[in-house]
Amino acid sequence: MSNLQTIKINDKYLNKLLPEGFPYPSSTLISGPGGTGKPLVEFAFVASWLRHGGSVIAMPLQYPTMEFVKTTMNKLYNLDLENYYKKIAYIQFDPSIKEYKKLGNNILKANLLKYETWNKTIEIAETMVEKSNMGILVFGAALNLLLFSPTYKESTIKNIENILKNDKNKTYIFSVSTSVFADKIKIWENAADNLLFTRMEKEMKLFLEISKMLEVKFLKKETQVSISKEMFKEIKSIAETTRKKIIPIIRKV
């Protein structure tokens, strides 16, 4: 018997696309070319998850700190993460360290290229957040960055494929850019329970379409997402700066 449940997403466009709600526990992949606003869509799920009482482990690889996430969640979804500090643990990606370090009561720094460290860090982060009936949502952005490592590329592909396909102890939402390694990311797209695609038109118009969703009805229609050009420019600038700094480091690992 399935233990699948649903929550309503507190966002107009996603609520329309998911009239029966978002299913959990499940795995979700948001896929699309670089610069198409995928994390901004993720933030809508994260905001709703917190509002419904769930706990979150956040690991947006393209952001050196969580300040941008906090600011964006407030601007887009009117959610102050400071009010949920007992419900959130942050994992900052650092490919230059051996394993992981604790930076505070709810902050870890980890070399997520190593699947053993990835799994161990998630376990530790679970102990940093309050338990909830909904369980834990693991939110990860720009996971395609991990594939630039010649040493850990294949093990990363297998580890994330296994998580998306088989781990039903938590709910996962990951975003990936298909601008590079599209063939490898296809493996993750096939493994995920839920799959969403984003694309961008001129003048920074973001479009979202659901390709599949676990055991719930959804509207299979491309929908424009209302997010300001200023927010797009800001997220794109931060992501590009991080990529330029971190990819050369990852290539050497």
Average pLDDT of adjacent 10-residue blocks, the chain of 253 residues: 85 92 98 89 95 96 85 90 95 95 93 96 96 95 96 97 96 96 97 96 88 96 84 78 88 93
pLDDT at 63: 84
The count of structural domains within the chain is 1
CA dist 56 → 52, 153, 192, 249 (Å): 12, 26, 19, 28
Say which CATH number the domain at 140 has: 3.40.50.300
Angle at 31 between CA 159 and CA 91, to 5 degrees: 50
pLDDT at 1: 41
pLDDT at 2: 65
- The size of the chain, in residues, is 253
**HSE-up (13 A, CA, CB side) for residue 39:** 26
Q: Which domain holds residue 12?
A: 5-251
